[in-house]
Structure 1
Amino acid sequence: MSRTEAGGYRERLLAAAVSCLRDKGYARTTARDLVAASGTNLASIGYHFGGKDALLNEAIIGCFERWTERVEEEIFGSAPGSPRELLERAMVALVDVFEEMRPQLVVCVEGFPAALREDALRDKLAGAYARARQAGVEMLRRAGAGLGPDSPVTAEALVSVLIAISDGLMLQWLLDPASTPDARQVVDALAALSAFAG
């Protein structure tokens, strides 16, 4: 297999894995499904990923990591703003994209139950969340929104809470899109909650 062909197979397999995860789910996707969807062969799965589960795991992690990159692009793609404006941009990239990103959301959600039973996927997802938290902390620093030494919360905790809000809203949206708040409502709700915590 040539180098170009090999690279093409890997990308085709990853795209097929995303499609199969979205349409059939983690447990019901077979190696033959992946081969049919990618136009490759069974040996290419082992050659590039070591096996079907490793390929599916890589596809799930890829969806998480592309989403993190998208959030950073949204926050810093225009002129700097106030901390609230930056938070609104982050929420737009985390929440207001659900309709557009529905296939990727399904893939992300498919990863959670599988990770409860498969150590390798659980470790990969934990690593993806760790990288997302670190990226969020770096975004806070880059935005000049560092938390002072007297802050009752660390940057890591703040980013973890924002990720939890996004994950929770993602699940709500997949079940009931009409009842899920948009980015501006989320930011307004956070501001209202601060009055209780203040």
Structure 2
Amino acid sequence: MSRKEVRERLLAGAVSCLQEKGYARTTARDLVAASGTNLASIGYHFGGKDALLNEAIIACFEGWTERVEKAIFSSGLGTPRELLERAMAALVDVFGEMRPTLMGCVEGYPAALREQALRERLAAAYGDAREAGVGMLRRASAEMGVELPVAPEVLVSVLIAISDGLMIQWLLDPDSTPDSRQIVDALAAISALT
């Protein structure tokens, strides 16, 4: 097995462990069993168990961002509202199928409050997600020939905050969490008030 393959297997195993056992309950032995590698490979490729789990959380964020981009640009853009609905669907309507991943990611937040390395990696992941979102917004607005009403960085940050907040609500009470269409309707209603 090449170094790259070992690294990829470790990362895939870590994502699997996050989904099945959670951040705090995953051991180095769990990571080895899930990846089919050995204990020394964790230290060699990632520096330790925590660093590997941190990278797995980041990989989940990156995969989710890619999913949003595919949803937005996989078909004709349509109207700005349709575009927002597709984006919110890719952010929110996927909670059910992503539940194990969401739980692993959310479990990483408390650890990030005490671990500077994880906090920095999560902050960078949010920065990367914002940057990707800004790129998506600029591309979509250019293709539609519309001007954004606010700075794209602000708009993306607000959409991420909405998604994160709804994610936590959904994990606690899925039946009371609005879907993407309800969210877009609520945003339009709030906009009409101003």
TM-score normalised by the shorter chain: which range applies? over 0.9
* 2:18–2:101 contact (8 Å) kept in structure 1: no
**Normalization by structure 1: what TM-score?**
0.91
The equivalent of 2:122 in structure 1 is: 125
Out of 9, 20, 24, the position equivalent to 1:12 is 9
Displacement of 1:38: 1.7
Instruction: Please give the alpha-carbon distance, in whole angstroms, between the structure 1 residues aligned to 2:183 and 2:72.
Output: 16
Q: Does 1:161 align with 2:158?
A: yes
Q: Cα deviations across residues 81-107 of structure 1 (Å, max 9, x unaligned)?
A: 111111001001001111111122112
Instruction: Please give the alpha-carbon distance, in whole angstroms, between the structure 1 residues aligned to 2:38 and 2:158.
Output: 42
* 1:63–1:107 contact (8 Å) kept in structure 2: no
* 1:32–1:42 contact (8 Å) kept in structure 2: yes
Displacement of 1:24: 2.4
Q: How many residue pairs were aligned?
A: 190
The equivalent of 1:190 in structure 2 is: 187
Instruction: Please give the alpha-carbon distance, in whole angstroms, between the structure 2 residues aligned to 1:36 and 1:140.
Output: 41
* 1:45–1:55 contact (8 Å) kept in structure 2: yes
Instruction: Please give the alpha-carbon distance, in whole angstroms, between the structure 2 residues aligned to 1:146 and 1:17.
Output: 42
Which is richer in helix?
2
The equivalent of 2:172 in structure 1 is: 175
Displacement of 1:130: 0.7
Q: Does 1:57 align with 2:45?
A: no
Q: Does 1:116 align with 2:113?
A: yes
Q: Identity across aligned pairs (percent)? A: 76
Displacement of 1:19: 2.1
* 1:136–1:159 contact (8 Å) kept in structure 2: yes
* 2:138–2:152 contact (8 Å) kept in structure 1: no
Structure-2 change in CA distance of 1:127 and 1:156 (3 Å): same
Instruction: Please give the alpha-carbon distance, in whole angstroms, between the structure 2 residues aligned to 1:168 and 1:79.
Output: 29
Q: Cα deviations across residues 1-57 of structure 1 (Å, max 9, x unaligned)?
A: xxx432222222112212222232222221112112222110110111111111000
Aligned to 2:8, the other structure's residue is in SS state: helix
Q: Cα deviations across residues 111-150 of structure 1 (Å, max 9, x unaligned)?
A: 2111101101100110111111111111111011442xxx
Aligned to 1:78, the other structure's residue is in SS state: coil
Paired AA for residue 130 in structure 1:
G
Out of 48, 70, 73, the position equivalent to 2:45 is 48
Out of 72, 78, 87, the position equivalent to 2:75 is 78
Structure 1 gap segments, 5+ residues each? none
Question: Where does structure 1 differ by over 3 angstroms across 4 or more consecutive aligned residues?
Answer: none
